[in-house]
Amino acid sequence: MQAIKDPIVDPGPPGSTAGWSFCGVPWWLIGIIATIAVIVLQIATNPTWREDFDFIRGGLTLTLLGTLGGFMIAVVFGLFVGLARLSNNTVIKNLAMYSIELIRGVPVLVTVLVISIVVFGQGSNAIGFEAPGKAIRGTLALGIIYAAFIAEAFRAGIESAPNGQREAGDSMGLAERPITRKITLPKAIRNIMPALGNDLIALLRDSSLVSVIAVRELAQTTKLWTGSAFHFMEGYMILTAFYLKPTASVSLHLRWYERRIAAPGH
């Protein structure tokens, strides 16, 4: 009796439309879009919401500038601290570890207050310099805080580079610094891009903390408006939409990038 073999069905590549799956639908994204759409509809049709939106959006510029400026500072400082963390010099390595653990061991809000008020505020005045503006101090505080987290990402990315690449650099007669700069670091940056994107999202959210030093970004602007107009529900729902849109956009790009680098040949 001849055995009957089941036909082999090719499932197709991931993401193909060979079969529809309920679990494969990005319901989280649909929920985010629906939430934003409801708020936008209220702004478009309700005069009260529109009035609130016109006032609150005045803080958007400072929020974006603070986020982007702080992220640039964090990446630059984080790279240097991460490299120092891998140094063979005991003093440099321990100073890097001290700065990382000091910042990571204190709540972000407390660190924002210490850096912006004590270090760049009273500290600048104590040595005879005029203290920077509140927005600049808040941006510097966010950059220094997130530099500690990004430094660990750079360290992990560099250490995850295959030993074969470093050995290939040694066989070519390259010194330690050129190997790190030309071989290990580019590979590390490629691997930690998702982590950097997550830090950017977190920094955007934490930019609201600079409201405690009276920087009129989105959160502070909303607080001032709702306190005077008593439109609490409208104001804070609009604020929610302002944060949701960029964070959802960055999340989508991160998911696309993660799938791209996971594909063979990338």
The tens digit of pLDDT for each residue in 33-80 reads 999 999 999 999 999 999 999 999 999 999 999 999 999 999 999 999
Residue 195 · residue 146 · CB < 8 Å: no
- The reply to whether 92 falls in a domain is yes
List the CATH number of the domain containing 238.
Answer: 1.10.3720.10
Q: How many Å apart are CA 266 and CA 254, to the nearest integer?
A: 15
Q: Tell me, yes or no, whether 74 lies in a domain.
A: yes
Distance CA 57, CA 51 (A): 10
Residue 255 domain-assigned? yes
Domain interval for residue 245? 39-259
Within a domain: residue 32?
no
Say if pTM beats, i.e. exceeds, 0.85: no
Q: How many angstroms separate the CA atoms of 106 and 87, rounded?
A: 25
167 falls within a domain: yes
Tens-place pLDDT, residues 85-95: 988 899 999 99
Q: Is residue 19 part of a domain?
A: no
pLDDT one-digit tens code per residue, 169-194 = 666 666 667 666 667 777 777 788 88
User: In terms of residues, how long is the chain?
Assistant: 266
120 in any annotated domain: yes
- Residue 37 vs residue 257, higher pLDDT: 37
Give the number of domains in the chain: 1
Place of tokens 């197709």: 12
18 lies in a domain?
Answer: no
